[in-house]
Chains A and B, each alone.
Chain A
Amino acid sequence: MTAYVIRRLLLTIPVLFAIVTLVFAIRPLVPGDPVEIMLFGQSANPEVIANIRAQLGLDKSIPEQYLLYVSNVLRGDLGTSITTRQPVIEEITNRYPATLQLAIGAFLVSGIVGLGSGILAAVYKDSPIDTVAMIVATTGISMPAFWFGLLAIYLFSVNLGWFSVIPDGSLKSLVLPALTLGLIASSIVARLVRSAMLEVLGQEYVQTARAKGLTERRVVMHHALRNAAIPVVTIVGLQFGGLLTGAFIIEAVFAWHGIGELAVQAFAKRDFPMIQGITLVVATTYVLVNLVVDVIYAALDPRITYS
């Protein structure tokens, strides 16, 4: 197991390296001169322009810029934002906790609701419970998150007055955004969990457990669920990446001051150091979450030796 974890960790390094390379490529690919974008079309002294270019390392060749970028990233320096003139890493560190809070909240909602309804739908296959759970899941998958969020604001904040329209960062103000993001994500989880459970429930060892005269509850909880846990962990783990970027949209709906809000501003103003920084941080988080999922997966499934 330790060997597997070390091997998996080592395999992550080239992936992270590839991500840094692709993220670097964003800047040379952005059309137009970044300095001109910085100056918002205002004319400036050629000397000033040359100075800014030198500061950003734009006077060097692309391979030199790349090496500089990689070495800066390794030292935790993601550059300076073109629009706010603040270090990118500082801005991201200030905002990321709020996004992670939202993503984790949504993750819990999607896990609880998705797992619960998926398991129930599989156990009571073809019953009204199954039908209702799957209708709700299909509805959830088809729901635009931003509209669902606005509906939630309209109903719970504007009409019922249960929540403040403007979030204050408290746990209470997290409820509505996390529920919106989590409930939509739970529909995908529910469908995939149902399918994984149905596969397991059809296995011979489940039939044997039933034939032994065990209660249905025990069959489901001890025999089926433990085996279905393996694909389920993968599904739920993969969801986390979706939740992180889903948070970008939900943050725009609920005026949540996270990395998503920062990203939208950066994308609109083509603030490339910020765009690169956010893309790098989110992709890295996703890769690391997948690493954790893979390790859990190995711990759950003793059949896998990963030679």
Chain B
Amino acid sequence: MTASTLTTSLSPRSTAIRFGPLDFLRRLFRTTQAQIGGAIVLLLLLTAVFAPLVAPYDPYELRVGSAKDPPSPAYPFGTDDLGRDMLSRIMYGARITVQIGTISVALALGIGVTIGLVAGFYGGWIDSLLMRFTDIMLAFPGFLLTLAIVAVLGPGLTNAMIAVGVGAFPGFARLVRGSVLSIRETEYVTAERVLGATPTRIMRSSILPNVLAPIIVLATLAFPLAVLDAAALSFLGLGAQPPTPEWGALLVDGRNYLRTAPHLVNIPGLAIFITVLGFNLIGNNLRDVLDPRLRAR
């Protein structure tokens, strides 16, 4: 599922966050699902930040004598085909995963929110122009837009992040525009206009805070999609290149040894799966907390 199809399940109406940070966290982590999700995401972030301190070995250090060793006390996740410690590579890979998710989503947010805000706020021909452009982007299904952008930029991790981010922006643009349209006509926006506030000020101070809730939900759900897409690009040989310990790339390295050393495929696969699951569990709950219309269902 792309970020654009996600918008269908989100309410485009104004749903401002109307509770304090502590209350918000209490509501968010009320369910077991969200608590599990939170624990996974926390573990990912801690691993990413402290990888150089907690990783037992250098992730690039080759050990000729211990290639493809299965998990053991010395190497809890085993070693790869060149004898590199898989645990250390997975830990360093967590950094790349967080980086991929953050940069891609930030890019999608930057482009999508700007287009959505401007289109929704100004309306008229600006709206038509920007939204037709967005719609054409949506005519490229799922992963195709991302692939086409990689084709233009060339393979590599940075380009993969850019491609995933740009590929995800139409969903944000559509969502934000829909929300802005409903807020634009409210009395407080009219009041600000009458008081002579500039369009930029109205967008920043009145409109953006009111469209923040659906944006946060979509961003949380777009993060795991970005991780999956970037890993898929690496799997296809178009994303991170060896010896980068990106999880999708690790999985590709391991696939030739599926029969003899399945841990080389299963450990990176499990790492991607658990990370994506963690964000999805939080995202689902976040939607319930921030979108009261859906909470009853």
Q: List chain A positions with a Cβ less than 8 A from chain B.
A: 15, 18-19, 22-23, 26, 29-31, 138-139, 141-147, 150-151, 153-154, 158, 188, 191-192, 195, 198-199, 235, 238, 240-242, 244-246, 248-249, 252, 263-264, 266-268, 270, 272, 275, 279, 282-283, 286-287
Contacts and interface: CB of A to CB of B under 8 A. Distances in A.
A156 to B, nearest CB: 12
B238 A195 contact: no
Given A147-B272, A199-B297, A139 B277 contact: yes
6 contacts: A22-B140, A30-B152, A144-B231, A144-B269, A192-B8, A195-B297
B232 A275 contact: no
Given A141-B1, A245-B141, A248-B143, A198 B297 contact: yes
A86 B2 CA distance: 33
Nearest to B252: A146
Contacts of A252: 235-236
Contacts of A264: 236-238
A249 B236 CA distance: 7
A15 B136 contact: yes
A141 B155 CA distance: 26
Interface string B126-150: 0000001001100111111001101
Nearest to A30: B152
Contacts of B132: 18
Nearest to B234: A146
A287 to B, nearest CB: 6
Contacts of A18: 132, 136, 139
B180 interface: no
Nearest to A28: B152
Contact of A144 (B142, B147, B228, B262): B228
A283 B144 contact: yes
Given A267-B147, A270-B151, A142 B273 contact: yes
Nearest to A139: B277
A275 to B, nearest CB: 5
A246 B251 contact: no
Interface in B152-203: 152, 154-155
A144 B236 contact: no
A292 to B, nearest CB: 14
A145 B237 contact: no
Contact of A145 (B8, B135, B232, B270): B232
A143 B297 contact: no
A252 B237 CA distance: 10
Contact of B142 (A23, A154, A246, A266): A246
Contacts of B268: 147
B280 interface: yes
Contacts of B150: 267
Would you list the 7 A-B pairs with minimal beta carbon distance, nearest first?
A241-B141, A147-B269, A142-B277, A245-B143, A245-B142, A142-B276, A242-B142
B259 interface: yes
Contacts of B237: 264, 268
Contacts of A248: 143, 147, 236
Nearest to A21: B136
B48 to A, nearest CB: 19
A283 B273 contact: no
A141 B1 CA distance: 8
Contacts of A245: 141-144, 147
B59 interface: no
B280 A283 contact: no
B37 to A, nearest CB: 10
Given A188-B1, A246-B143, A267-B151, A143 B238 contact: no
